[in-house]
Chains A and B, each alone.
Chain A
């Protein structure tokens, strides 16, 4: 499993765009990059997943450079409700693989008014 490194914490203000970068230098060819969000006392929630280039959904964008050794989660125009812990994970595709996810410390995002 590829190890990931991301900032421990970040502060932002409402309405700003937030970019959280994660490094995963040992990512393997079959690995996908997934981001989860967790609010206090709740289980993590899937935000977005990608393999390469750029992925966008209704809540976030994920930018992955060609070498795939890092990825950036972009949250447009954050609000106070986006205050949470964000986890970057690298996982293997295919049902024959394990679903073991190694959650690191994550990035605690604090959005201020």
Chain B
């Protein structure tokens, strides 16, 4: 158990819909990261927040957005969903903002878009 929690564990929805994925970091961690892992793309970095502020952006689509709240939990919003958005979405957290800090990954949310 990494100490990072993600909800829901599974999500099945239809194309065009909007969903919200939730992540609670480990106690004391200030950074939260979101990753997408699909079969044909591998693990893709989406976005990082550090202490409530956006720190780095990766391959995140404009249809996707995220935020980190004052209590440090984070939400990833996916809208206008397409079939290709079906993937495992991982949240990770670390104590610091640099990429050399150990990132602790949550169990993931499996999103299926039908």
Q: Report the minimal beta-carbon distance from B22 to chain A, rounded to whole angstroms.
A: 15
Q: Mark B6-21, 1 if CB is under 8 A from A, else 0.
A: 0000000000000000
A-B contact count (CB 8 A): 94
* Contact assessment for A105 and B42 in the assembled complex, using a CB-CB cutoff below 8 Å: yes
The B contact surface, by secondary structure, is strand
Q: Identify the closest chain A residue to B92 (Cβ).
A: A43
* Contact assessment for B33 and A99 in the assembled complex, using a CB-CB cutoff below 8 Å: yes
B: number of interface residues (CB 8 Å)? 32
The segment from A14-22, A64-72, A88-96 found at the interface with B is A88-96
Q: Identify the closest chain B residue to A98 (Cβ).
A: B56
Bound-complex Cα distance A76 to B56 (A): 36
Q: Mark B92-114, 1 if CB is under 8 A from A, else 0.
A: 10101111111111111010000
Chain B residues contacting A101 (CB-CB under 8 Å) are 33, 45, 99, 103
The A contact surface, by secondary structure, is loop
14 A-B pairs in the complex with CB atoms less than 8 angstroms apart: A34-B102, A43-B4, A43-B105, A49-B102, A91-B99, A91-B101, A94-B100, A96-B98, A98-B48, A98-B99, A99-B55, A100-B99, A103-B35, A103-B44
Q: Besides the contacts A87-B43, A98-B99, A103-B35, what 18 more A-B pairs have beta carbons closer than 8 Å?
A: A32-B100, A41-B108, A43-B105, A44-B90, A46-B102, A49-B100, A91-B98, A91-B99, A92-B98, A94-B96, A96-B98, A97-B99, A98-B48, A98-B98, A99-B31, A99-B55, A101-B99, A103-B42
